[in-house]
Chain A
Amino acid sequence: NAGVMQNPRHLVRRRGQEARLRCSPVKGHSHVYWYRQLPEEGLKFMVYLQKENIIDESGMPKERFSAEFPKEGPSILRIQQVVRGDSAAYFCASSPTKVNTPGNEQFFGPGTRLTVL
Chain B
Amino acid sequence: GQQLNQSPQSMFIQEGEDVSMNCTSSSIFNTWLWYKQDPGEGPVLLIALYKAGELTSNGRLTAQFGITRKDSFLNISASIPSDVGIYFCAGNAGGTSYGKLTFGQGTILTVHP
Chain A residues engaging chain B, CB cutoff 8 angstroms: 4, 31, 33, 35, 40-45, 48, 55-56, 58-59, 91, 93, 98-102, 105-111, 113
Q: Is B24 part of the contact surface with A, judged by Cβ < 8 Å?
A: no
Which residue of chain B has the shortest Cβ distance to A31 in the bound complex? B99
Q: Provided the pairs A41-B105, A42-B106, A100-B30 are in contact, do residues A4 and B42 lie with their beta carbons within 8 angstroms? A: yes
- Residue A99 contacts which of B4, B92, B105 (CB distance < 8 angstroms)? B92
Residue with the highest number of chain B CB atoms closer than 10 Å, among A31, A43, A44, A55: A43
| B interface, size bucket | 20 to 34
B88 is an interface residue with CB less than 8 A from chain A: yes
Q: Are A98 and B41 in contact (CB under 8 A)?
A: no
Question: A55's closest neighbor in chain B, by CB?
Answer: B99
Instruction: Contacts A42-B105, A43-B88, A105-B48 given; indicate if A99 touches B42 (C-beta within 8 A).
Output: no
Instruction: Decide: A100 and B31 in contact? CB cutoff 8 A.
Output: yes
Closest CB of chain A to B106's CB: distance in Å? 6
Known A99-B92, A100-B92, A102-B50; judge A56-B42 contact (CB<8 A). Answer: no
Q: Please determine whether B42 and A33 come into contact, CB atoms closer than 8 angstroms.
A: no
B33 interface contact, C-beta 8 A: yes
Indicate with 1 or 0, residue by residue over B1-14, a CB within 8 angstroms of chain A CB atoms. Answer: 00010100000000
B16 contacts chain A at the CB level, 8 A cutoff: no
B50 x A100 contact (CB < 8 A): yes
Given contacts A55-B99, A100-B98, 15 further A-B contacts (CB under 8 A): A41-B106, A42-B88, A42-B103, A43-B88, A45-B100, A45-B102, A91-B43, A100-B31, A100-B92, A100-B94, A102-B48, A105-B45, A107-B45, A109-B42, A111-B41
